[in-house]
Amino acid sequence: MANHNTIIQNYHFYYSFTGDTTQTPILFLHGFMGNIHEFDDAILLLSQEFLCLTIDLPGHGINSSVG
């Protein structure tokens, strides 16, 4: 798993890639009050054949406003 943190305007975005970067990507978006770890079990299985991208949406998980 490769974890990343980037800033876009006034927000930090925490995201991670898991799997083979040469494979088809799957984007996982959590629901209200969730975070990227909701998909850990699915990613464990799918990352062997796909590139799995998870994002903490604004105001959830590790993300926070910086401005």
The per-residue pLDDT for range 6-18, each reduced to its tens digit, is 777 777 777 888 9
As a whole number of angstroms, the distance between CA 40 and CA 11 comes to 24
| Euclidean distance between CA atoms 49 and 42, whole angstroms | 12
Domain housing 26: 2-55
- Amino acid identity of residue 16, one-letter, is S
Which residues are CB-neighbours of 35 under 8 A, at least 6 positions away? 56, 60, 61, 62
- Tens of pLDDT along 17-49? 899 889 999 999 887 777 778 899 999 999 999
62 part of a folded domain: no
In this structure, is residue 60 part of a structural domain? no
pLDDT at 31: 76
Per the structure, the count of domains in the chain is 1
